[in-house]
Chains A and B, each alone.
Chain A
Amino acid sequence: MQYSYYPGCSLKGSGRAYEESVLAVFDHLGIELKEIDDWNCCGATAYMSVDERRSFALAARNLAISERDMPESPMVVPCSGCYVTLNKTCHVVKDYPAIKDDVTKALDRAGLKWKNQVPVRHPLDVLMQDVGLDRIKEAVVKPLKGLKIAPYYGCQIVRPYAEFDHQIHPTSMDRMFEALGATVVHYPLKTKCCGGSMTGTAPEVGLRLVYLLLKEAAKREADLMATVCPLCQFNLDAFAKEAARAYGPVNMPVIYFTQLLGLAMGLSEEKLGLQRNIISAKNALKGAAAAAAR
Chain B
Amino acid sequence: MMDRGNGNGRSDLRIGVYVCHCGINIASMVDVKRVAEQAAAMPNVVVARDYKYMCSDPGQEMVQQDIRELNLNRVVVAACTPLLHEPTFRGACERAGLNPFFCHMVNIREHDAWVHEDREKATVKAIDLIRAAVRRVKHHKALERRTVPINPNVLVVGGGIAGIQAALKIASAGRHVYLVERELSIGGHMAKFDKTFPTLDCAACILTPKMSDVKKHPNITLWTYSEVDKVDGYVGNFKATVRRKPRYINEDTCVGCLECIDACVFKEPRFTDEYNEGLSKRKPMHIPFPQAVPQVTAIDPETCLRFKTGKCKSSCVTVCDRNAIDFDQKERIEEINVGAIILSTGFQTFEPKDRLPQYGYGIYDNIYTALEVERLVNSAGPTEGEVVLRDGSKPRAVGIIHCIGSRDTKSNIWCSRVCCMYSLKLAHLLKERTGAEVYNFYIDMRTPGKGYEEFYNKLLEEGVHFIRGKVGAVNDWAITPEEEGRLVIRVEDTLGGFVRRVPVDMVVLSTGLEPHKDAEDVRRKFNISCSPGGFFLERHPKLAPVETASGGIFLAGCCQGPKDIPDTVAQAGAAAAEALALIDKGVVELEPNTAFIDAESCSGCKSCLSLCPYTAISFIEAEKRAEINEALCKGCGTCVAACPSGSIIQNLFEDEEIFSEIAEVLSNG
Contact = CB atoms under 8 A, between A and B. Distances in A.
A107 interface: no
A115 interface: no
Nearest to A187: B477
Interface in A157-185: 166, 168-169
Considering the complex of A and B, which 5 residue pairs feature the smallest CB-CB distances, nearest first?
A: A169-B357, A188-B475, A168-B358, A188-B477, A189-B477
Contacts of A188: 473, 475-477
Interface string A203-243: 00000000010001000000000000000000000000000
A171 B476 CA distance: 18
A188 B489 CA distance: 12
- Interface size class on chain B is under 10
- Interface size class on chain A is under 10
A136 B411 CA distance: 34
Contact of A212 (B357, B476, B479): B479
Interface of A: 166, 168-169, 186, 188-189, 212, 216
A114 to B, nearest CB: 30
Nearest to A169: B357
Contact of A166 (B357, B473, B475, B476): B357
A14 B280 CA distance: 55
Contacts of A166: 357
Interface string B605-630: 00000000000000000000000000
B268 to A, nearest CB: 32
Interface of B: 357-358, 363, 473, 475-477, 479
A188 B473 CA distance: 10
Given A188-B477, A189-B477, A212-B479, 12 more contacts: A166-B357, A168-B357, A168-B358, A168-B473, A169-B357, A169-B358, A186-B363, A186-B476, A188-B473, A188-B475, A188-B476, A216-B477
A188 B477 CA distance: 7
A216 B479 CA distance: 9
Contacts, number: 15
Contacts of B477: 188-189, 216
A216 B475 CA distance: 12
B470 to A, nearest CB: 13
6 contacts: A168-B357, A168-B473, A169-B358, A188-B473, A212-B479, A216-B477
A196 to B, nearest CB: 18
Nearest to B357: A169
Nearest to B410: A167
A189 to B, nearest CB: 6
Contacts of A168: 357-358, 473
A35 B593 CA distance: 68
Contacts of B479: 212
Nearest to B474: A188
A169 B475 CA distance: 12
Nearest to B484: A219
A212 B475 CA distance: 15
Nearest to A166: B357
Contacts of A169: 357-358
Contacts of B363: 186
A186 B363 CA distance: 10
Contacts of A212: 479
Contacts of A189: 477
B488 to A, nearest CB: 9
Nearest to B475: A188
Nearest to B477: A188
Contacts of B475: 188
A189 B479 CA distance: 12
Nearest to B363: A186
A225 B67 CA distance: 87
Contacts of B358: 168-169
A166 B359 CA distance: 13
B502 to A, nearest CB: 15
A188 B476 CA distance: 7
Nearest to B472: A168
Nearest to A171: B357
Nearest to B355: A166
A166 B477 CA distance: 20
A160 B637 CA distance: 47
A168 B359 CA distance: 10
A243 to B, nearest CB: 15
A189 B477 CA distance: 8
A199 B601 CA distance: 86
Nearest to A189: B477
Nearest to A168: B358
Contacts of B476: 186, 188
Contacts of B357: 166, 168-169
B311 to A, nearest CB: 39
